[in-house]
Amino acid sequence: MKKLHILALFVIAIAISSIIISAGDYSTYATFAQASKSEGKFFQVNGTLCEQKGFEYDPVKDPNYFSFCMVDKSGKENKVVYHGSKPQDFERSEEVVLQGAMDGDNFVASKILLKCPSKYNEGEIEEREFESVKAQV
């Protein structure tokens, strides 16, 4: 074999191994119970807001702290902390998808995806994505 062929095979082997190693970091939808069993591991949790509990956001005190209560698909209620500003139209969202990890009893979100009713087309869902400025996870 030529040296060029050996080098090409080596580069391909490195690329394949890096893909396999990073495949373990891909997130899947989980519940708060599953996320709490693997504290610190990255998960996606989807659910709805606890409307009766409200949220905590004071832009004067700390514009990068937002917390709220969410119920996941299994019905478990949990406090969520997001280190960023409150997303626009947060209260109108029908469903929330969080990306982040558990930290003690709180789920610390690094990204929030809101599914809100569309302003223009009834029945369609508008998706909005918000990323934390400071990823704490």
The pLDDT tens digits of the residues spanning 81-111 come to 999 988 888 888 888 999 999 988 899 999 9
The confidence score (pLDDT) of residue 135 equals 47
Q: Say yes or no to pLDDT of 133 above 50.
A: yes
Q: What is the CATH number of domain 27-131?
A: 2.40.50.140
Which residues does 51 contact at the CB level (< 8 Å), separation at least 6?
none
- Residue 38 banded pLDDT, cuts 50, 70, 90: confident
Which residues does 73 contact at the CB level (< 8 Å), separation at least 6?
29, 31, 46, 47
Of 29-33, 46-50, 95-99, 122-126, the one with minimum mean pLDDT is 122-126
The confidence score (pLDDT) of residue 29 equals 82
